[in-house]
């Protein structure tokens, strides 16, 4: 029985978030430049997204470039931006063929003009697709996102448009970059690191966390399926006891 056949399709996570870590180490192990690892990681993205579509997962969010990544060596940042543009160009047909809608979150205006324009073009071209929404977190940090949401609410309060007493979790979430997207039920991080690195801090409040030692360029759809199978073995209590959950069933 294949891994896909072992998945309970009635208990799929609707949204899976992934921290794609280990490209640089993978390249170093092979005596290559870090950029080679990023290039190889594109194959992992393609296979993982296609695997998600086949399994019926509706939302995939990938941590592609953090605000902190701007502090990396300029040559690596330049190579990443060029790779992003070329990859979006090449993968648009694949996204269309698989019914994948492209989305992006983060401080997108900080991206180079060429990169930003290509990103927006592909987002527009794929906007009619509905099999799966692939969100790229680019120039993204969760603290930046939360700060911007708080600033947005504060402006409305200052201008008399909003009573601070009515601000609740739902309203705050509506000001986040992920507004309209369900919170992830499962977060996967590759490369053996055990942290979430300023990624979707609000949205991951009740997500199941899955860590694998596999470096991102070696990650494939079977690894995604293994993570989903592990997720389905867990009891998600949301603060309740097991007994309470059993009574509600």
- The verdict on residue 167 lying in a domain is no
Residue 40's domain comprises 13-140+183-232
Residue 243 inside a domain? The answer is no
pLDDT, tens digit (0-9, with 9 covering 90-100), for 126-183: 999 999 999 999 999 999 999 999 999 999 999 999 999 999 999 999 999 999 999 9
CA–CA separation, 42 and 82 (whole Å) = 13
Q: What is the pLDDT of residues 22-49, one digit of tens each?
A: 999 999 999 998 889 999 999 999 999 9
How far apart (Å, rounded) are the C-alpha atoms in residues 138 and 112?
Answer: 12
Pick the range with the lowest mean pLDDT from 6-20, 60-74, 95-109, 172-186: 60-74
Q: E strands along 106-221, which residues?
A: 132-140, 186-189, 208-211
CATH code of residue 224: 3.40.1180.10
Average pLDDT score, the chain: 93
Q: Is residue 206 part of a domain?
A: yes
How far apart are the C-alpha atoms of 123 and 102, rounded to whole Å? 5
pLDDT score of 78: 81
pTM of the model: 0.93
Tell me how many domains the chain contains: 1
- Residues with catalytic roles: 21, 69
> CA 166, 169, 173 angle in degrees (round to 5)?
115
Do the domain assignments include residue 171?
A: no
Are β-strands 59-66 and 15-19 bridged in parallel, bridged antiparallel, or unpaired? Answer: parallel
- Report if residue 241 sits inside a domain: no
| % of the chain surpassing 70 pLDDT | 94
Contact 131, 56 (CB under 8 A): no
């Amino acid at each position: 029985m294949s891994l896909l056949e072992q998945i309970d399709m009635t208990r799929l996570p609707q949204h899976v978030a992934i921290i794609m870590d280990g490209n640089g180490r993978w390249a170093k192990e092979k005596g290559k430049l870090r950029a080679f690892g990023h290039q190889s990681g594109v194959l992992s993205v393609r296979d993982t997204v296609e695997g998600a579509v086949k399994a019926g997962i509706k939302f995939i969010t990938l941590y592609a470039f953090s605000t902190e990544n701007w502090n990396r060596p300029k040559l690596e940042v330049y190579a990443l931006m060029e790779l992003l543009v070329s990859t979006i160009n090449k993968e648009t047909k694949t996204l269309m063929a698989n019914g994948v809608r492209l989305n992006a979150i983060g401080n997108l205006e900080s991206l180079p003009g060429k990169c930003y324009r290509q990103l927006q073009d592909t987002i527009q071209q794929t906007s009619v697709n509905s099999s799966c929404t692939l969100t790229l977190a680019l120039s993204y940090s969760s603290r930046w996102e939360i700060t911007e949401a708080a600033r947005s609410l504060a402006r409305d309060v200052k201008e008399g448009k909003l009573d601070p007493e009515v601000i609740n979790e739902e309203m705050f979430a509506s000001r986040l970059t992920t507004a309209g997207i369900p919170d992830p039920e499962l977060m996967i991080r590759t490369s053996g690191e055990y942290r979430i690195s300023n990624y979707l801090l609000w949205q991951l409040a009740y997500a199941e966390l899955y860590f694998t030692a596999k470096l991102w360029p070696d990650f494939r759809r079977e690894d995604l399926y293994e993570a989903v199978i592990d997720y389905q073995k867990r009891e998600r209590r949301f603060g309740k006891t097991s007994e309470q959950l059993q009574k509600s069933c």
